[in-house]
Amino acid sequence: MDRAINSLSIVVPVFNEEESLGSVHAEISAAMRALPGLRHEIIFVDDGSTDRSAEICRELHAADPEHVRAIIFRRNFGQTAAMAAGFDAATGDVIVPMDADLQNDPEDIARLLDKLGEGFDVVSGWRKNRQDKMFSRRLPSVLANGLISWITGVPLHDYGCTLKAYRREVAEHISFYGELHRFLPALASWAGAKVAELPVNHRSRRFGVSKYGIGRTVRVVLDLITVKFLMSYSTKPMQVFGKWGIFSLLVGFVAGLITVFEKLVDGLSVNRNGWTLVCLLFLLTGMQFISMGLLGEINVRTYYESQKKPIYTIRETIGGE
């Protein structure tokens, strides 16, 4: 397989970023001029902005049609959907997503590409000197990244950094659902990709306000459970549900033996014995777990054998085919 990087797609999800878009385009263009011979495209994905962001995306394409493309959503679908649309539209050998708020530094793109050239498939940015508030952003991030690294088995310091580089052949096999964009390195590693991490520059916010708050913690935890299931049991749900089902059936069987023993030895009435309830509860629970596993196996086969539907709808596509 040819590992040379001849073209680059930079995906920029946009949601109410009218103040920064011009500067983002200018800085990316300047960074690309420092990489002569590398074809590039900048794909702005407007995620249902309520300000002038969509109009500015059109203006940027009109001013630089060779390099700028824009995708305008009908409504706000979320950052994962915006990144999915950008990845689907990308044509480059490498895909680099980055934020539109200028906290990511486009000059780091060259360093990410150099790291890919060392034989890696994914290079994840690490905001080592993060310019955010300590208690509301940085401390929860440290705890979350530690938990994600432990659960997924892919140790990274900063899963939340948008600035990453993906080889196209790896990105094509990653599916975007829910809010799983932050877990893409773990999902790529599960698919067999070689993942590296690289410290990148992180700048103070110049425009707008953060779109994230402490309230997203619950969503991150729920998505982490989903990722763990996808990485370990997505093609074999019976392995997780069946194990709990067998365990419950064994507990119910032992409780049943205790019930019979106490009836024969102590003369204790079955309907007055608490072990009877334990027996019935765990036997029923075990059968339910096994039934869920069987239904999961059927759903998995349906999923992998059917056509995947996109998780977004596009109002218009500007530039490109």
274 and 131 fall within a common domain = no
pLDDT tens digits for 79-110?
889 999 999 999 999 999 999 999 999 999 99
In a domain, 304, yes or no: no
Let me know if 2 is exposed, middle or buried by CB neighbors in 10 A (0-12, 13-18, 19+). Answer: exposed
The set of residues, in sequence order, having a beta carbon less than 8 Å from that of 40 and lying 6+ positions away, is 7, 8, 9, 10, 32, 67, 92
Residue 106 shares a structural domain with residue 252: no
Q: Which is it for strands 7-14 and 94-97: parallel, antiparallel or unpaired?
A: parallel
Task: Decide: 123 and 116 in contact? Cβ < 8 Å.
Answer: yes
Residue 219, pLDDT > 90, answer no
| Residues 207 and 127 placed together within one structural domain of the fold | yes
Q: Are residues 199 and 256 in the same domain?
A: no
Closest by Cα among 31, 184, 36 to 108: 31
Neighbours of 298 (CB within 10 A): 11
The CB density around residue 261, as the number of other CB atoms within 10 Å, is 12
Regarding whether 161 and 33 lie in a shared domain, the answer is yes
> What residues have CB less than 8 Å from 180, skipping those under 6 apart?
80, 187, 223, 226, 227
pLDDT by residue (tens digit) across 226-267?
777 777 776 678 888 888 899 999 999 999 999 999 888 888
**192 in the same domain as 282:** no
For residue 308, the tally of other CB atoms under 10 A from its CB is 9
Q: Decide if 27 is inside a domain.
A: yes
Instruction: With respect to residue 93, please indicate whether it lies within any of the assigned structural domains.
Output: yes
**Is the domain of 131 the same as that of 34?**
yes
Percent of the chain scored above 70 by pLDDT? Answer: 87
Query: Same domain, yes or no, for 176 and 28?
Result: yes
The number of folded domains in the chain is 2
User: Among 27, 29, 15, 26, which residue's Cα sits nearest to residue 72?
Assistant: 15
pLDDT digits (tens, 9 = 90+) for 135-177: 666 777 788 888 889 988 899 999 989 999 999 988 887 877 6
**What's the half-sphere exposure (Cβ side, CA atoms, 13 Å) at 225?**
6
117 and 263 inside one domain: no
The pLDDT tens digits for 24-37 are: 999 999 999 999 88
165 three-state secondary structure: strand
Is residue 153 assigned to a domain? yes
Please say which residue of 217, 233, 249 terminates a domain: 233
What is the pLDDT, as a whole number, of residue 7?
Answer: 96
pLDDT tens-digit series, residues 49-66: 999 999 999 999 999 999
Q: Are strands 314-318 and 68-73 parallel, antiparallel or unpaired?
A: antiparallel
| Segment 280-298, tens digit of pLDDT | 999 999 999 999 988 887 8
Quick check: is 318 in a domain? Answer: no
* Angle at the Cα of 150 from the Cα atoms of 146 and 152, rounded to 5 degrees: 115
**pLDDT (0 to 100) of residue 235:** 67
pLDDT score of 307 = 55
Do 126 and 244 lie in one domain? The reply is no
Residue 306: is its pLDDT beyond 60? yes
Q: Does 129 share its domain with 56?
A: yes
Q: How confident is the model at residue 1 (pLDDT cuts 50, 70, 90)?
A: very low
Hey, CA dihedral for 272, 273, 279, 282, is it positive or negative? positive
* Residue 212 included in any domain: yes
pTM: 0.76
Of 195, 166, 198, the C-alpha closest to 84 is: 166
- Contact predicate 190/117, CB 8 Å: no
> Do residue 211 and residue 179 come from a single domain?
yes
- Residue 227 CA: distances (Å) to CA of 22, 27, 148, 245, 261: 36, 34, 10, 22, 45
Q: Which residue has the higher pLDDT, 143 or 11?
A: 11
pLDDT tens for 262-284 read: 888 888 888 878 899 999 999 99
Residue 321 covered by a domain? no
What is residue 216's predicted lDDT score, i.e. its pLDDT? Answer: 62
Q: Please state whether beta strands 122-126 and 39-46 pair in parallel, antiparallel, or not at all (unpaired).
A: unpaired
- Give the length of the chain: 321
Kindly list the distances between the CA atom of residue 215 and the CA atoms of 136, 159, 192, 221, in Å, as whole numbers in the listed order. 11, 17, 33, 11
The residue type at 51: D
* 8 A C-beta contact, residue 92 and residue 9: yes
Residue 162 belongs to what domain range? 7-233
Please, which residues have CB within 8 angstroms of residue 207's CB and are 6 or more apart in sequence?
17, 19, 20, 101, 102
189 inside domain? yes
Q: Could you tell me the CATH number of the domain that includes residue 78?
A: 3.90.550.10
Write down the pLDDT at residue 311.
52
